[in-house]
């Protein structure tokens, strides 16, 4: 099977955005400041190692800034024997963080595209979701970013992304609305222009009457 490599774009990373990174010591000092602001003593036994643990956790939570999502999709396959039907990956679980309160957004994404020239390994779709999730986000922007990146690199007939997620800024703060989830969608090409294609996608993800799009 043959594959093609698209020209590499500059990574959407901290360096690409010209944002200098503080040192690890500075980051840990910032955590100690927040602990003191919250009313506790960062030098007591239970908290002495917390700044180090928090910084290490942040490296995992926000690893998406160091990855280029377009580069993930560069290796594509052209030998498809004319396959031009929908490719769908459902129930991609993700954990992100709200850019307004820096608390978790936990949910799942459904991603589909209709190939035109080439296809990509199905695991790459899950990785695209993960890269954008591991950044400070709002759900609407994340939904559009995933769809626009797939469309821009693969140039398919259409792309559809639906995200369902619970926002802990709603469930852990004063708002107190447990069980509330937010649904967003971004439809491009055939999924936007052809109602039957859109209905097929929504039916396949178990949400035929959502009205997304």
- Active site residue ranges: 98-101, 139, 167, 169
Residue 71 per-residue DSSP state = H
Q: Is residue 114 a contact partner of residue 158, using CB atoms and an 8 Å limit?
A: yes
Distances in Å between the Cα of 178 and the Cα atoms of 31, 105, 169, 184 are 29, 13, 11, 19
Surface-to-core class of residue 100, CB atoms within 10 Å of its CB (0-12 exposed, 13-18 middle, 19+ buried): exposed
Residue 131 neighbours by CB under 8 Å, 6+ apart: 64, 67, 69, 72
Measured CA to CA, the distance from residue 117 to residue 134 in angstroms comes to 29
What strands lie across the sheet with 104-114, from one edge to the other? 136-137, 87-98, 104-114, 158-167, 182-189
């Amino acid at each position: 099977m043959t594959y093609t490599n698209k020209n590499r774009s500059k990574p959407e990373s901290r360096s690409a955005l010209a944002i200098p990174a503080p040192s690890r010591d500075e980051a840990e000092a910032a955590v100690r400041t927040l602990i003191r602001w919250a009313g506790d003593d960062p030098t007591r036994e239970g908290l002495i190692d917390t700044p180090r643990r928090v910084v290490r956790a942040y490296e995992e939570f926000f690893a998406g800034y160091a990855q280029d999502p377009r580069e993930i999709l560069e290796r594509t396959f052209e030998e498809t024997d004319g396959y031009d039907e929908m490719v769908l990956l459902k129930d991609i679980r993700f954990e992100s963080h709200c850019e307004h309160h820096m608390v978790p957004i936990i949910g799942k994404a459904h991603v589909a595209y209709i190939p035109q020239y080439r296809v990509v390994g199905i695991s790459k779709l899950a990785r695209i979701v993960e890269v954008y999730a591991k950044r400070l986000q709002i759900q609407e922007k994340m939904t559009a970013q995933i769809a626009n990146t797939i469309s821009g690199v693969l140039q398919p007939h259409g792309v559809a992304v639906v995200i369902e997620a619970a926002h802990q800024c709603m469930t852990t703060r004063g708002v107190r609305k447990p069980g509330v989830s937010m649904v967003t969608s971004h439809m491009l090409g055939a999924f936007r222009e052809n109602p039957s294609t859109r209905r097929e996608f929504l039916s396949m993800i178990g949400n035929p009457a959502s009205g997304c799009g």
